[in-house]
Amino acid sequence: MKTRCTYLLFILLLLNSTNLDAKTVTQAKIDSIRGELSVRKEDTLKVKLLLNLASAYSVINTDTGILYAKEGLALARNINWEAGIAMALNNLGNCYVDNSDYSTAMNCFREAISINRKRDDKTAIARIANNMGNVYKLEGDYTNAMECYLQFLKTSEALGNKQYVSVANCSIGSIYKYQEDYENALKYFQRSLDAAKEIGNDGIIAAVSNNMGIVYDSREQYEQALDAYFNALKAFEKLGDRLNISRTMGNIGVVYRKLGNYTTALGYYRKALALGEETGSESLIASHLCKIGGLYLFAAMGPAIKDKNTAANNPKNERLTGNYLPDASLPTNKATLLNLALDNLQQSISKAKEVNDPYVLSQCYEYISEVYELKGDYKRALDANNRYWKLKDSIYSETNKEKIIKMGLKNEYERKYLADSLKTAERQKISRLQLQRQKSITYLAIGGVLLLIGFSFFIVKERGKSEKERKKSDELLLNILPGKVANELKTTGSAKAQYYNNVTVIFADFVNFTKTSERMKPQDLIDELHNCFKVFDEITTKYSIEKIKTIGDAYLAVAGLPNEDAKHAIHAVQAAIEINDFMQDRRAKLGERTFQVRIGINSGGVVAGIVGVKKFAYDIWGDTVNTASRMESNSEAGRINISQTTYELVKGQFDCVYRGEIDAKNKGMLKMYYVSGPA
């Protein structure tokens, strides 16, 4: 599971225009400031004190923080202090971010940046650009977030402000992290960490350590991840930053869950959730409820600790001393675990909708789909899966990803959709032809016999044209849907989802696509993708395999639907061998100007159907698809990795090398085989 840690709001307060670091303010210090406020006159210092209190209380109680920020803003306006007004608006925006009210926060930031532009305060403008980038990121708009962060970095370097440079690099790294470009993420995080250490800023060091932990976790480097997380946790506890203590505990729980230590993971999740509830952060509550729901699902799917000898699972490990080792227990009944998973996930969805968190929503729907599948409720599983893919496509669309990699590279591939449903398009054509014929009839009545002859000729011509247009529409539809499904759609106006029990799913993915794309011109990249996928299409067609879609640089196809194929697994492996041979030959000729491919194959049952009305697409869902994806991700460049299920269907037909049981992400230990070639 890809872990989401909402970007550290600690960074927002590091960049606050006040001089006091609000995260380190103790309750005693708060009381001291409040005492000083009571004797201060209405001046600029009182504004600053109010804003310091607002920042401090936004960690403890966001509503109180907002009240103090508003009071500071009112005073700044009352004394006509323009710089203070901008300062207060920025502070108030940060408080609204902590309260998950992103729309109001952006309004505050826009007003503040407008004032600072008039004042030509480049430092303040840079700071607010970062804050706006944070909001865009929290909303899943990574393209606009990256633009804000790059501007922030450029301005900070020009100003020679090392603290801002450190924060900017951390922010940019976080975007690469969310886009799963972990190499670039670590590069920018390391730059941020180096700058923070140079100036001795423990707060930024803690924030960056936490982010690096997330990246190591995603790369399955769990020892490094735990080291980074516990370093961050100790720093955040020293700073009294309960929001980020909660986030980091949740991240630690994720690592232990992946290691199979479910009881320790659940303990951290519960402590994280309790802290989230204390701070009143709806985003955190939603995130932790999702994690807990996912944990119950994983517990229902398989056994607990996979490797009791790893350092991360060793209770004597010094990381787990003190207050860090929570205690929790799990039910053993599968039905109970699934019900607990569903309850927590539904609570998470409710919270995530309140704060408009698309990532948590998509993760919840993915988990819920698996819960219902295990319960045997395939209708609800399909509905949840549809919601998951809709959200995931929105968050990780190739357009956004490529804009971030090359800011301006247009994704002309993966855009071959209908402008509207074919049924609507055909109705428009028929109406147009009827209008043309009606006009012709009118001309006929006026023009007499000679025009009658001319109109007769016109009718024949138009019929031919109509038939040609209809044929073109049919061909376009068949490029998107299987023939059987296309005919059903044209006949009835809809096509029902169906379950296919015996199919084989193929996933092909280009290795190191991001690195290769960065070395190529945009048009060359698009042309090469087109040339490769064109041959993939020819090969799959040869074996009566249905291409489902391309997802950026990945190619998904399935053998055995919509028409049954007793040799679906054999045909799928044959096609995979030809695809792999083609790419190896092409690599030998073109070198770095093309890609290396890795392929994964799995057999089983899937649900298939049409998604949407406009720009609709034919797609497949189910555990078989997920496992095929895991086969691909656990394959290597130039290799074809198949599951045990597929192996049982093709053994004797192909030479296969048993790889043993391999830990597949979210699937546990799976038997895998490399296909060497025909037997």
483-525 pLDDT tens trace: 556 565 555 555 566 788 899 999 999 988 777 777 777 787 8
- At 606, the amino acid letter reads V
Mean pLDDT of 300-322: 49
What pLDDT shows up at residue 133?
Answer: 92
Say if CB 221 and CB 192 are below 8 A apart: no
Just give the CATH number of 495-678.
3.30.70.1230
Q: What is the domain partition of the chain in residue ranges?
A: 7-138, 161-239, 241-411, 422-480, 495-678
pLDDT digits (tens, 9 = 90+) for 214-229: 899 888 899 999 999 9
Say if CB 543 and CB 557 are below 8 A apart: no
* Buried b / exposed e along 72-89 (16+ C-beta atoms within 10 A): bbebbeeeebebbbbbbb
For the ranges 47-56, 203-212, 392-401, which has the lowest average pLDDT? 392-401
pLDDT digits (tens, 9 = 90+) for 656-672: 999 999 888 777 889 99
d(Cα 622, Cα 600) in Å, to the nearest integer?
Answer: 16
What pLDDT shows up at residue 484?
Answer: 59
d(Cα 558, Cα 603) in Å, to the nearest integer?
Answer: 9
Percent of the chain with pLDDT over 70: 75
Is it true that domain 161-239 has CATH number 1.10.3720.10? no
- For the chain, state the CA radius of gyration: 29
Where residue 274 falls among pLDDT bands split at 50, 70, 90? very high
pLDDT at 297 over 60: yes
What pLDDT shows up at residue 667?
Answer: 78
For the ranges 106-120, 232-246, 451-465, which has the lowest average pLDDT? 451-465
| 241-411 CATH choice from 1.10.3720.10, 1.25.40.10, 1.10.357.10, 3.40.50.620 | 1.25.40.10
- At 415, the amino acid letter reads R
d(Cα 571, Cα 503) in Å, to the nearest integer?
Answer: 11
pLDDT at 132 over 80: yes
Where residue 390 falls among pLDDT bands split at 50, 70, 90? confident
How many other CB atoms sit within 10 Å of the CB of residue 369?
A: 25
d(Cα 573, Cα 567) in Å, to the nearest integer?
Answer: 10
Where residue 80 falls among pLDDT bands split at 50, 70, 90? very high
For the ranges 7-16, 119-128, 616-625, which has the lowest average pLDDT? 7-16
For the ranges 282-296, 398-412, 604-618, which has the lowest average pLDDT? 398-412
pLDDT at 252 over 80: yes
Q: DSSP assignment, residue 285?
A: H
pLDDT digits (tens, 9 = 90+) for 621-659: 888 898 999 999 899 999 999 999 999 999 989 999 999
What pLDDT shows up at residue 137?
Answer: 87
Closest by CA to 84, choosing from 63, 112, 58, 110, is 112
Closest by CA to 291, choosing from 264, 313, 273, is 273
The overall average pLDDT reported for the chain is: 78
What class, spelled out in words, does domain 7-138 have in CATH?
mainly alpha
Q: Do domains 7-138 and 161-239 have the same CATH topology?
A: yes
Q: Please indicate whether residue 21 or residue 235 has the higher confidence score (pLDDT).
A: 235
d(Cα 434, Cα 428) in Å, to the nearest integer?
Answer: 10
Say if CB 489 and CB 422 are below 8 A apart: yes
